[in-house]
Amino acid sequence: MDHGLSLDPLERVRVVLSHASHPGNIGGAARAMKTMGLSRLWLVSPRHFPSDEAIARASGAEDVLVHACVTDSLAKALDGCVLVAAVTARRRELSTPTRWARDAAAELVAASRQGEVALVFGNETSGLSNDEVALCHMPVMIPANPAYSSLNLASAVQILAYELRQAAAAPGAPPPVAGEGQPAPHEDVERLVAHFERASIGSGFLDPASPKRLIPRLRRLFARARIEREEVAILRGILSALEQPQRKPD
Amino acid sequence: MDHGLSLDPLERVRVVLSHASHPGNIGGAARAMKTMGLSRLWLVSPRHFPSDEAIARASGAEDVLVHACVTDSLAKALDGCVLVAAVTARRRELSTPTRWARDAAAELVAASRQGEVALVFGNETSGLSNDEVALCHMPVMIPANPAYSSLNLASAVQILAYELRQAAAAPGAPPPVAGEGQPAPHEDVERLVAHFERASIGSGFLDPASPKRLIPRLRRLFARARIEREEVAILRGILSALEQPQRKPD
């Protein structure tokens, strides 16, 4: 699906709800988004959708529900995104530093000049799985009461949508540097990771029966670097050349 | 009722809901308050209270409902407050300038050093009456989509509670994560770059007579990522394995 790039940064932000349990929260999230000028809702394997309860809670934001994209894979919902933030209620064992909501919003708005961006929210009870977080570039936390940090899903969407609106209205980050490359879209990075995995197994470096943390570590490295299109092409070119039978010296 | 003056500015903030219609919103507001460390809820003439629906929506914040003060007059709910903000969805013909949520939160936190302060929210449909707004010191608006500014009551409480928490304590940078890796020293990165260069030439991918910008691009990628020791080891391991003669399938 190609939406082209809207002039309004808020229209380049996808809100992705993964495995939402309660239709009321989906409706509440749609309303929260619309109040802040967001419109692009993605639902990954929602328990009930469409639903009358979602429509009721959406109030005047039924259009956001009508245009929502439903899919069964988070990777599909992130297809084409240049920056993806995972909203998480707790610190995770990841080397990527956690951003606070306000800082993450500024980064997302800045990145939206180069392509679509996404904010990913997990299930109401269990949050995002580690595999889901691993598909994102950065974890984001909403500052909250340490004794009770259990924000309602629609409330969490509301705060981040509000911060995005604030960030979009602010004078913003300095324009990108001239030499700066094009960030690689999500699916290119996944293909690169898959290529490394094939090459590691094919060369005998990685035993698929005992994969250790090798592939997640590479994915994390590329996410942290915000790897660019051209860099993906270089690395894949080297891997492909190495996978050919060795050349004899002429 | 005299609470004395708490040391925590957030405990000197009253959230006053005037004529709330929906018990679910009262519960949602209690939950929103508690996630941000607020606890003092006042209800002026609620349509239904107490209510099971409010308790259900409050989730783990039932204590805020249990301790809520119910009254039939806004003036009583504001008794003893040194600064009172009226949350309003539209501009009003008032001589007091309207504040944005963020600025109002900072003013309320500053004023809380001198006494209790309050944030007043009106009925879901009709908002605050002019008489109610006249009892407050300043009108406050949440920046919103001009085409659809209809925030849910609990969502409006959530945003202002969040801004109060931000104003009360700039959270600072999140502490570093335990699992964070050791950055690779300069010389390890250089050896990695040299290894990529050898492998690129050996495999025929890179013509040393016309090297282009390939190697500088990789060096830039690793610098930008602040690549770690373990990641260098993984990449060099894969390269070494690929450089061996191809394995035959067993």
Nearest by CB: A234 against B174, B180, B214: B214
pLDDT of B32 reads: 98
Say yes or no for a CB contact (<8 Å) between B202 and A247.
Answer: yes
What is the structure's pLDDT at B17? 98
CA B148, A44, A215, B244 torsion: positive or negative? negative
In this predicted structure, what is the pLDDT of residue A1?
A: 41
| In the predicted structure, residue B247 carries a pLDDT above the cut 70 | no
What residues in chain A have per-residue pLDDT under 50?
1-3, 173-175, 177-178, 248-250
Q: Which residues of B touch A203 (CB under 8 A)?
A: 238, 241-242, 244, 246-247
Burial class (CB in 10 A: 0-12, 13-18, 19+), B248: exposed
Which pLDDT score is estimated for A205?
92
**A25 Cα to chain B: minimum distance (Å):** 11
The pLDDT of residue B176 is 46
pLDDT tens for each residue of B80-106: 888 999 999 877 665 567 899 999 999
Q: Between B137 and A158, whose confidence is greater?
A: A158
Question: How confident is the model over B54-83, as pLDDT tens digits?
Answer: 999 999 999 999 999 999 999 999 998 889
pLDDT for res B246: 56
**Encoded tokens for A29:** 């999230």
Among partner residues B155, B165, B242, which is closest to A32 by beta-carbon distance? Answer: B155
Q: Tell me what the mean pLDDT of segment B31-41 comes to.
A: 97
Return the SS3 of A45. coil
| Interchain proximity A144–B35, CB inside 8 Å | yes
> Which residue, A123, A116, A162, A156, is CA-closest to A140?
A156
pLDDT confidence of residue A2: 43
The per-residue pLDDT for B8 is 86
Q: Provide the pLDDT for residue A182.
A: 85
Of B8 and B7, the structure prediction assigns the larger pLDDT to: B8
Contact (CB<8Å) B143/A166: yes
Residue of A152, A244, A246 with shortest CB distance to B28? A152
**A-chain residues within 8 Å CB-CB of B102?**
166
Q: Which tens digit of pLDDT belongs to each residue from B11-22?
A: 999 999 999 999
Residue-wise DSSP of chain B: ------SSGGGGEEEEEES---HHHHHHHHHHHHHTT--EEEEES-SS-S-HHHHHHHGGGHHHHHT-EEES-HHHHTTTEEEEEEE-SS--S-SSPPEEHHHHHHHHHHHTTTSEEEEEE-BTTTB--HHHHHTSSEEEE----TT-----HHHHHHHHHHHHHHHH----SPPPPTTPPPBPPHHHHHHHHHHHHHHHHHTTSS-TTS-TTHHHHHHHHHHHHT-BHHHHHHHHHHHHHHHSPPPPP-
Please judge whether B155 and A158 are an interchain contact, meaning their C-beta atoms are less than 8 angstroms apart. Answer: yes
Residues of chain A found within 8 Å of residue B221, distances taken between Cβ atoms? 225, 227-228, 231
Residue bearing the bigger pLDDT, A57 or B244: A57
CB contact under 8 A, B61 and A148: yes
By C-alpha distance, the chain A residue nearest B37 is A145
The pLDDT, as a whole number, for residue B94 is: 57
In the prediction, which pLDDT does A232 show? 94
Place B250 in a pLDDT band, splitting at 50, 70 and 90.
very low
pLDDT at res. B145: 94
Checking if the pLDDT of B248 tops 50, the result is: no
Facing B217 at nearest CB: one of A151, A218, A230: A230
* pLDDT at residue number B178: 46
Higher-pLDDT residue of A72 and B138 is: A72
Please name the residues in contact with B190: beta carbons below 8 A apart, sequence gap of 6 or more: none
How many Å apart are CA B90 and CA B151, to the nearest integer? 12
**pLDDT value at residue B226:** 80
Nearest neighbour of B154 by CB, restricted to A92, A95, A155: A155
Q: Output the pLDDT for position B65.
A: 98
Going by pLDDT thresholds of 50, 70 and 90, the confidence category of residue B169 is confident
Out of B36, B159, B228, closest to residue A145 by CB: B36
Complex-level ipTM beyond the 0.85 threshold = no
Q: Do B240 and A59 touch (CB under 8 A)?
A: no
Distance CA(A104)–CA(A119), nearest Å, equals: 10
Helix (H, G, I), strand (E, B) or coil at A18: strand
Q: How far is B58 from chain A (nearest CA, A)?
A: 9
| Omega before B50 within 30 of 0, i.e. cis | yes
pLDDT of B3 reads 47
B137/B151: higher pLDDT:
B151
Taking the CA of residue B126 and the nearest CA in chain A, the distance in Å comes to 15
Interface test with B, best of A8, A62, A162 (most B CBs within 10 A): A162
Q: What is the mean pLDDT of chain B?
A: 88
